[in-house]
Amino acid sequence: MPEASRLPEKPAAGAGRPLLEVESLARYFRVMAPWVERLLEGKRPRLLKAVDGVSFAIPSGRTLAIVGESGCGKSTVARLVAGLYRPTQGTIRIDGLDAVHAKNATERRHIRRQLQMIFQDPMASLNPRWRVRDIIAEPIRAFGLVKSRAEIERQVAELLTHVGLAPIDGEKFPHEFSGGQRQRISIARALSSRPRLLLCDEPTSALDVSVQAQILNLMRDLQREMGLTYLFISHNLAVVRHMADRIAVMYLGRIAETAEAETLFAAPRHPYTRLLLETIPDPLKPKRDREPLAGEVPNPLDPPPGCAFNPRCPFANERCRKERPELKRARAGHGWAEVACHGVEEGRI
Amino acid sequence: MALLEVRDLRVEIPTRRGVLTILDGVSFDIAPGEVLGLVGESGAGKSISGLAIIGLLEPPARIADGTVTLEGRRIDNLPREEMRRIRGARIGTIFQDPLTSLNPLYTIGRQLVETIQTHTTLTTRQAEARAVDLLKQVGIPAAESRLNAYPHEFSGGMRQRVVISLALCAEPVLVIADEPTTALDVSIQAQIIALLKRLCREHRTAVLLITHDMGVIAETADRVAVMYAGRIAEIGPVGTVVNRPKHPYSAGLMGSIPTVERRLDKLPQIKGAMPRPGALPHGCAFAPRCGYARDLCRAERPELMRTGETESACFQYDRRWEKAHA
């Protein structure tokens, strides 16, 4: 049973109440061995705890970024919030309403309308046989927001202009666009049902840097203009630095540290956060001839007991190998962070 | 003398609609033990340059012009069989995805021993000892017992270590590493970069490091060539190109990379996208996206010109620039 790793979120001055609240969220997957092995060797299905007790809240109009390495569960969190998976445990509240157990169809519809998703690979998320205008109009039609064809056309043209394309581009097919332009189309589609919350799962990871800059700038402009709230999933700390108000660092299904973006970059507390910041190759500040920390992310099917990071942690002691740390408030530079680390709690780190 | 000399390399792909020029007039040298970084966005021609050098261009792509010289010997026009002997023995290769570089059906010990015996006269027992030694060098724990393991039994980072040991097993003079860390997580990426640097320094192996990641280049390379639309836009010492780029494209590229150091209100961005081969504009391929472009840039194609420590293919460093109209 996942314990609630509580995150008392202090909304910054001027920010509204949380649009998205996630509490002790968990999702376990049953991993089956191949059929023959199950039959011959009697192998049992094993439990993969992709997300194991994650809590956070995003105030309206702000950006929370979840960062971590592959397999840490960050995309699963986005998919749980989007309703693509049902949580094993925990609650998701969107605009104050329970998104997992909606009372009725009207309420479920209201919740669904609040959010849209942007995925990593725009080619895989755009139907290659549809014209761009139909792709963008689909959410408008699905929610029945506008009835008249002329009005739909007008809105699609407006959305295309908004994301930096021309209304005439609506007549084309996705393959006629470059990667960056395709991601603009995904964004236009996501915005067409006028959502308040955008779940962005590695939206620029498949793009070249000069195009990535265009998309990140566009996303920030749109947020400012339309008051959007972002849940931003990325493995790239430099991108996150540019986008996020608050950051949660995930490791093996749990949050290791969370803090305001400025605080996290100025004074990282968790040894894993420090490792991540230390290992980013920065073109302007090359850390030549360093010997990086050894070790890899453990197999999530067989996580180490105690703190999941203990086999790689230079500060690990007996307690870290036995007892799993919970998120606790800790001083971080001039600010505060929530850190799941015995060493930080005991003042060793 | 340069270890590898690439001169005026042109690669073409004949298609039904005409001949596409993928690389055009690419020239660079690599000195023994030097790490040359090749950066650029997807489609700029970085990987094609690497494949052209090792003679692994996929037909119908072909070298249409230019020469590749390794240790004073031309290798671009060698018969297949002779080129095969150079690959592996003199030039090692590391590709992005370690799982596709390893045969899933054979143990890594067998793959190492086979590669070692192809290029040396060692007996199987000697080759096995050498394989264990190599696996130790690349930091694989309990190397002796891992010889009998299959590629799928290793993690991504460990697999890439095995690939590096394969690339280095015949003591090549040059390693071509194409996006060697792109498929790996950042903390593993740093380990692999450090390993590659250490091994190449110890063995005095030169490296052609192909990547889109400017950070990896800055950490690793001695010199860097920035590619754009099949040509080199700028080439020079890594510190200069990173901190004081002379070509507007390298400057734009460097500016658009978000860093963890500071948060900018707006990331500098280059408008538009790189033209595709076959749709290159007349003159400088970057001119339509360039804030400095003058009529000269649209009329003529710039060659690399020396500007201080670097060479830059930009007319700003040409005598005629002052007289050109904006």
| DSSP assignment of B283-300 | S-TTGGG-TT--HHHHHS
Contact between A213 and B269 using a beta-carbon 8 Å cutoff: yes
Q: Specify the 3-state DSSP secondary structure of B228.
A: strand
Confirm if A59 and A66 have CB atoms less than 8 A apart: no
Percent of chain B with pLDDT over 70: 100
At A197-214, the pLDDT tens digits run 999 999 998 888 888 999
User: Which secondary structure element, helix H or strand E, spans residue B125, and what is its range?
Assistant: helix B124-137
Q: Tell me, yes or no, if A14 comes closer than 8 A to chain B by beta carbon.
A: no
pLDDT confidence of residue B142: 85
Give strand pairing partners of A254.
Answer: A251
At B3-32, the pLDDT tens digits run 999 999 999 999 988 899 999 999 999 999
CA B178 – CA B164 distance, rounded (Å): 12
pLDDT at A7 exceeding the cut of 60: no
Which residue has better confidence, A289 or B199?
B199
Q: At what angle are helices B156-168 and B124-137 packed, to 10 degrees?
A: 130
Contact between A210 and B41 using a beta-carbon 8 Å cutoff: yes
pLDDT confidence of residue A14: 42
Supply the mean pLDDT for chain A: 89
pLDDT band for position A11 (cuts 50, 70, 90): very low
At B53-101, the pLDDT tens digits run 999 998 899 999 999 999 999 999 999 899 988 988 899 999 888 778 8
Q: In what order do the strands lie in the sheet with B73-74?
A: B18-30, B4-15, B62-70, B73-74
**Which chain A residues contact residue B273 at CB under 8 A?**
178, 180-181, 211
Average pLDDT of the residues in B39-65: 92
Residues 252-311 in A contacting B (C-alpha not used; CB under 8 Å) = 261-262, 265, 275-277, 279-294, 296-297
pLDDT at B326 exceeding the cut of 80: no
Contact between A69 and B187 using a beta-carbon 8 Å cutoff: yes
Identity of the residue in B41, B213, B267 whose CB atom sits nearest the CB atom of A242: B267
pLDDT band for position B325 (cuts 50, 70, 90): confident
**Which chain B residues contact residue A181 at CB under 8 A?**
273
Q: Specify the 3-state DSSP secondary structure of B301.
A: coil
Contact between A208 and B41 using a beta-carbon 8 Å cutoff: yes
pLDDT at B120 exceeding the cut of 50: yes
Q: Tell me, yes or no, if A215 comes closer than 8 A to chain B by beta carbon.
A: no
Cα B255 to its chain centre, rounded Å, is 22
pLDDT band for position A16 (cuts 50, 70, 90): low
Average pLDDT of the residues in B127-144: 89
Among A294, A246, A313, residue whose Cα is nearest residue A12: A246
Q: Specify the 3-state DSSP secondary structure of B170.
A: coil
Distances (CA, A) of B120 to B126, B166, B169: 10, 13, 10
At B242-278, the pLDDT tens digits run 999 999 999 999 988 888 877 888 888 888 888 888 8
Q: Among B185, B202, B212, which would you mutate to test the A interface (most chain A Cβ atoms within 10 Å of its Cβ)?
A: B185
User: Which secondary structure element, helix H or strand E, spans residue B137, and what is its range?
Assistant: helix B124-137
**Phi/psi at A170 (nearest 5 deg)?**
-60, -25
Confirm if A52 and A251 have CB atoms less than 8 A apart: no
At A104-132, the pLDDT tens digits run 989 998 999 999 999 988 888 899 999 99
Average pLDDT of the residues in A160-164: 93
Closest CA–CA distance from residue A156 to any residue of chain B (Å): 22
Contact between A279 and B186 using a beta-carbon 8 Å cutoff: yes
Contact between A220 and B266 using a beta-carbon 8 Å cutoff: yes
- Counting one residue from chain A and one from chain B, the pairs whose CB atoms sit within 8 A come to 126
Contact between A279 and B252 using a beta-carbon 8 Å cutoff: no
CA A30 – CA A168 distance, rounded (Å): 48
Q: Tell me, yes or no, if A175 comes closer than 8 A to chain B by beta carbon.
A: no
Q: How many residues does chain B have?
A: 326
Please give the structure tokens belonging to residue A284: 């302007």
Average pLDDT of the residues in A254-262: 96
Q: Tell me, yes or no, if A5 comes closer than 8 A to chain B by beta carbon.
A: no
Residues 98-137 in A contacting B (C-alpha not used; CB under 8 Å) = none
- Asked which of A252-256, A295-299, B159-163, B177-181 is least confident by mean pLDDT, the reply is A295-299
Cα A261 to its chain centre, rounded Å, is 15
Q: Name residue A330's amino acid.
A: A
pLDDT confidence of residue B101: 86
Q: How many residues does chain A have?
A: 349
Identity of the residue in B158, B219, B264 whose CB atom sits nearest the CB atom of A281: B219
pLDDT at A2 exceeding the cut of 70: no
- Asked which of A94-98, A113-117, A121-125, B237-241 is least confident by mean pLDDT, the reply is A121-125
Burial A202-213 (b: 16+ CB within 10 A, else e): bbbebbbbbbbb
**Which chain A residues contact residue B271 at CB under 8 A?**
214
Please give the structure tokens belonging to residue B198: 């250490």
Identity of the residue in B254, B268, B271 whose CB atom sits nearest the CB atom of A283: B254
CA A201 – CA B94 distance, rounded (Å): 29
Interface ipTM above 0.90? no
Nearest CA in chain A to B191: A292
**Which chain B residues contact residue A292 at CB under 8 A?**
187, 190-191, 194
End-to-end CA distance of chain B: 42
pLDDT band for position A38 (cuts 50, 70, 90): confident
Contact between A210 and B212 using a beta-carbon 8 Å cutoff: no
**Residues A146-153: contacts with CB within 8 Å, 24+ apart?**
none
pLDDT confidence of residue A291: 67
β strands within A101-157, DSSP E: 115-118
Closest CA–CA distance from residue A67 to any residue of chain B (Å): 12
Identity of the residue in B218, B267, B274 whose CB atom sits nearest the CB atom of A286: B218
pLDDT at A8 exceeding the cut of 70: no
Q: Among B42, B192, B219, which would you mutate to test the A interface (most chain A Cβ atoms within 10 Å of its Cβ)?
A: B219
Could you give the maximum distance between any two Cα atoms of chain A, in Å? 69
**Which chain A residues contact residue B139 at CB under 8 A?**
294
Angle CA(A317)–CA(A319)–CA(A320) in degrees, nearest 5?
Answer: 65
CA A316 – CA A298 distance, rounded (Å): 15
Supply the mean pLDDT for chain B: 90
CA B90 – CA B72 distance, rounded (Å): 13
